[in-house]
Amino acid sequence: MTFDDVATRVPAAIRERAAALDAADPLAGYRAAFIESQDVVAYLDGNSLGRPLKATRANLTRFVDGPWADRLIRSWDEGWMNAPTELGDLIGRVVLGAGPGQTVVADSTTVMLYKLVRAAVDARPGRDEIVIDSENFPTDRFVVEGVAAERGLTIRWIHPDPAAGVRTEQVRAAVGPRTALVLLSHVAYRSGYLADLAAITAVAHEAGALMLWDLCHSAGAVELALDEHEVDLAVGCTYKYLNGGPGAPAFGYVARRLQDRLRQPVQGWMGAADPFAMGDRYEPATGIRRFISGTPPIVGMLPMRDMLELIDEAGMPAIRAKSSKLTSFAIEVADELLVPLGVRLASPRASGERGGHVTFDHPDFKRVTEELWARGVIPDFRPPHGLRVGLSPLSTSFSELAVGLTMVAEVLTQERS
């Protein structure tokens, strides 16, 4: 089965609307920068793993033949040592709305979350509560549970509507003089709900707490202004909209005003003031570098550089505009093709309240997703019965989205018969 095979089965009105949107799309030309697979009819999971870039294939070869093979260990002195902070500055400028010296690339999201959660609560002595929501991604909840157990803290849970997300008034009701840290996801991983980052951060600060944002589902899809909104801490992965590839390292943001007041708990040699002094005692580096622990994942940083160049060229305002149009079109098509089959929208309908993905619920979607994958249509499934459609603006067309949702309707109809 090919894209063209399925395209003929898309209802004419939807097919024409998709073609018109593609023709008017100022970012359409960027699709040619990505490597496509003949086995994939429609890729609707760009919020889980971004497609690789053609430039990355060439640059990885050049890296092996050049800095690795030719320069060998000398490459550490010729650039690798500074890669975590240099690439962090690039992410900060292009994606996060953050000035230099506040973002670092290192570790996995889980490890970076642990570092910043632990450092934050230790920096708020006399406060013994962490606020987090019950719908947050498992890693966030599990890390908070672990740190709370280590430090004898209490978790105060917010229970939001699963089809929406955490509202500002819910945070205001949860925080107080005992709150050390608030940890929330900017874009909810299930529903795609876009939290009010500025207002919630202000509420946390009014209570005297630090604010930590998980940006995994917003970095590269939603405009951010961390410095402007006085965010304290943030963490995000780079294999979704930043196309860093499977297992690409995470990034951490620590506002400059906090860096010398936080002591990160995973004290490794690369975060020391002088790594090659091989000293008897740990002395942290100044600034953002103190949040590095072990040897930087140099190879894992390479692909995201290529994507950041593309994002920088396209501009986050244009990317966000297309992201909103893609998710709106997904809802329009679902209203016509899927809702009559018993599907329910499990994401906000208002585009200003959505990130870069939408979720639809149906009790048969686990089986449907398995069949879709076999046919080359790739959304993902999130329990209990959500089909999540993740749309990476630079690599996804409206026609591809129309084809994918048409196949969802076909398979769902077959499942019911």
List active site positions: 137, 214, 239-240, 388
**Strand 154-158 relative to strand 357-361, pairing:** unpaired
Question: Is-contact 197 229, C-beta < 8 A?
Answer: yes
Beta bridge partners of 235: 214, 252
- How far apart, in whole angstroms, are the C-alpha atoms of residue 113 and residue 170? 23
Q: Where are the beta strands (DSSP E) in 113-236?
A: 129-133, 154-158, 179-185, 210-214, 233-236
The answer to whether 315 and 93 are in contact (CB under 8 A) is no
CA–chain centroid gap for 208, Å, is 27
- For residue 79, give the 3-state DSSP assignment: coil
Q: Which of 401, 398, 395, 400 is nearest to 32 (CA)?
A: 395
Q: Which residues, 6+ apart, have CB-to-CB distance to 236 below 8 Å?
A: 109, 214, 215, 216, 218, 219, 250, 251
The Cα angle at residue 35 between residues 31 and 38, in degrees rounded to 5 = 105
Which two three-digit tokens encode residue 147?
A: 């740190």
261-275: b (≥16 Cβ within 10 Å) or e: ebebebeebbbbeeb
* Residues 105, 97: Cα–Cα separation, whole Å: 16
Are the beta carbons of 67 and 78 closer than 8 angstroms? yes
How many whole angstroms separate alpha carbon 265 and alpha carbon 284? Answer: 11
Indicate the burial class of 152 (C-beta count within 10 angstroms; 0-12, 13-18, 19 or more).
exposed
* b/e sequence 39-66, b meaning 16+ C-beta within 10 Å: ebbbbbbbbbbbbbbebbeebbeeeeee
- Please tell me the distance from the alpha carbon of residue 218 to that of residue 188, in angstroms, as a whole number: 9
CA pair distance 116, 66, nearest whole angstrom = 35
